[in-house]
Amino acid sequence: MPDALADLGVTLTAKGGQLRVWSGNATGLELCLFDEKDPTWVAKTLPMTRDDAGVWSVTSRLLKPGVRYSIRASGPAASGNSFDPTLHLIDPYARGLARTANGEWRGYVQEPDTFDWGHSKKPRVGLDHTVLYEAHAKGISKLNPDVPEELRGTYAGLANETTIAYLQELGVTSVELLPVQQFVSEQRLIKQGLVNYWGYNTLNFFTPHAAYASKQAQFGGTGAVLREFKGMVKLLHEAGLEVIMDVVYNHTSEEGIGGPTTSLRGLDNASYYRQAPDGTYIDVTGCGNSLNTATPAAMRLVIDSLRYWANDLQVDGFRFDLAVTLGRDDKNEFQTEHPLLLAIKDDPQLQGVKIISEPWDLGMGGWQVGKFPDGWSEWNDGYRDRMRDFWLTDVGAARATGSAPNGIGSLARRLAGSAHVFSQERGPLASVNFITAHDGFTMADLTAYNQKHNLGNGENNRDGTDNNHSFNHGVEGSTDDAAVTDTRRKAMRNLLGTLLLSAGIPMLTAGDEFGRTQRGNNNAYNQDGELTWLPWQHDDWQEDLLQVSRQLIQFRRENPALRPVRYGLAGETVPSATQMDWYNKQGLSMSEEDWDSPAERTLQYLAASTPEFEEFNRILLIVHGLEDDVTVTLPQHEGVMSYALLWDSADEDGTESMVEHAPGTELTVAGTSMQLFRAH
């Protein structure tokens, strides 16, 4: 059966360029070709013809590489439509964009792809070996003094040998970039004189954000920007690093009705956006509009965009912002088996691509953690909140009242892979574990602020969450009190240790590895400056914390017992799972009181791998969540002759002792700390 939606956008043929655009409700579309020297002057207009599937097309030898073009659309004024034949619209499939002096956008016909990928190949890092590093394409290198000044804050700066060396030495496997598809700032921010720094306001799903390219590439045009992006991917791949893109398909920069009409709204508003019968938008994203992925054209737009980035640009995976929106049906209800969610994981052209959901949006039934199809991994906000509570708010409450509000059971379930959230078939790798992300406090700020400090955002501190699960350890913000700073730094080591030693896929936010601060701003989306850029000059304590982060990632890599692929089953040997045994501080099997009592916040987690592809491995992790020191008796377990200490979070610089201890030995564990042993 012919594919009615094949080859949308511009395709170069022997007869000239062919443009295909879908619009089910338009009565007329025309292609506008602009003067070579003046992108505001229409040099030629060509009518487009419609087929039975709603695809409009035109072929012309004038539609050639280097040409700037737009689409104008006419249609009925019925409720839900928004046709205006005077507007120049962006082809949704444009592979290049050019901007006019007055700020309008034009499509740009790219030259045939001749980029030399050389011997570069996708690293194909297994999910169980994956360590995600969420970073900003500009912010990661903007302050790096070892990157040539003209490349700082660019794709080329990210791919600079010093940036790559840092990532390799840290040990992460996959760089997860905040949005790099072409985006613009919201109208509200422009009026305030601010910018959208994070990039969650996409203009076009097929073009790299031009401002992240070097000035030389920007002056070289949209083709040069594309080549710089590909060059970045190539160099990262050659270094063994994956590129994951944070993609925003849930809404577009056209905002609500009355916002800028640049593409989809003008082409077929009624089909591309979720609407009530009277034409008002059903906004489940909080951004003014929601892409209507219940329609075949919108679904195909997403799939074709993913194919382009994954194949033509060799990207390794995608993190889907507000992914629940993508899984809503024609009644705006979320469906686990939504055709788009299934297509993303099953599409032959997307096999081997990592797919990660942010499993919520702002609509009814918007929280869907654990409900995505097999093959998807999901951001686990329950993990985030419980780990913050255990190491921060519970400790603060214990100081204030004499008793922590929670026992250790909630931490243990998530440490072991969140089997209470994800199905047996999906396993622990369905969980993307994180303590922080781009939105919210940095890890250092979690330990230093009880409240957000967002006045710099221009919204009178109304923006950003108030539900931070943070604890300032007695002083709000920076302090010279040595006791407070030492306790904060140990809390950071505990958070990092928990994240990197838990079953699941860890995601580290750039800068947390050395304690970066945003001075209490937990929503720095419009802060494009040193507050959000990654600092490359570190204090001594930050270098110590960085070394701890490197060690923890190394321990994760070297100990398969820490990264099971499957959940274990009682009484069975499941390949690539982990056999877990739980002991209390006396070295005895955990009782119900040990799990639940706020007075007994100590456990010993003995985890043994069930080998399938790697050598047998067993570790012991001791977690102690009260501020008083505790005496722990190392557990007796069949086959265990000794425990070698690898890491103690009470030790500031993470010096590896490798001291051997026999089972039954009594050890002192410092207040609120962790110890990792290799069991022999």
What does the pLDDT read at residue 571?
A: 81
HSE-CB at 89 with a 13 A cutoff on CA atoms is 28
What does the pLDDT read at residue 658?
A: 72
- The tens digit of pLDDT for each residue in 128-181 reads 999 999 999 999 999 999 999 999 999 999 999 999 999 999 999 999 999 999
Distance, CA of 162 to CA of 166 (rounded, Å) = 6
Distances (CA, A) of 37 to 17, 30, 60, 71, 216: 20, 21, 20, 19, 20
Structure tokens at 669: 């564990």
What does the pLDDT read at residue 646?
A: 96
Distance, CA of 276 to CA of 258 (rounded, Å) = 16
Q: Which residues of the chain have pLDDT under 70?
A: 654-657
For residue 354, give the nearest of 126, 120, 133, 135 by alpha carbon: 126
Distance, CA of 178 to CA of 551 (rounded, Å) = 26
Is residue 362 helix, strand or coil? coil
pTM for this structure? 0.98
SS3 per residue for 87-117: CCECCCCCCCEEECCCCCEEEECCCCCCCCC
What does the pLDDT read at residue 510?
A: 98
Question: Which of the residues are catalytic?
Answer: 321, 358
Packed helices 540-558 and 482-501: angle between N→C axes, nearest 10 degrees? 20
What does the pLDDT read at residue 654?
A: 67
Q: What residue spans define the domains of the chain?
A: 9-108, 133-381, 386-522, 571-679
Q: Which CATH number fits domain 571-679: 2.60.40.1180, 3.30.479.30, 2.60.120.920, 3.90.1150.10?
A: 2.60.40.1180
What does the pLDDT read at residue 1?
A: 78
Fold identical between 9-108 and 571-679? yes
Distance, CA of 441 to CA of 388 (rounded, Å) = 11
What does the pLDDT read at residue 147?
A: 98
- What is the DSSP track for 167-196? HHHHT--EEEESP-B-B---HHHHHHT---
For residues 134 and 178, the answer to whether their CB atoms sit within 8 Å is yes
CATH superfamily ID and name for 133-381 = Glycosidases (3.20.20.80)
What does the pLDDT read at residue 669?
A: 98
What does the pLDDT read at residue 656?
A: 61
For residue 452, give the nearest of 437, 438, 467, 474 by alpha carbon: 467
What does the pLDDT read at residue 489?
A: 98
What does the pLDDT read at residue 659?
A: 86
What is the rounded end-to-end Cα distance, in angstroms, of the chain? 61
Architecture field, domain 9-108: Sandwich (2.60)
- Residue 146 CA, chain-centre distance (Å), reads 27
Torsion region of 667: left, alpha or beta (phi above 0 gives left; psi -120 to 50 gives alpha):
beta
What does the pLDDT read at residue 39?
A: 87
What does the pLDDT read at residue 655?
A: 66
For the CA atoms of 548, 552, 557, 559, what is the dihedral angle to 10 degrees?
130
Is residue 560 helix, strand or coil? helix
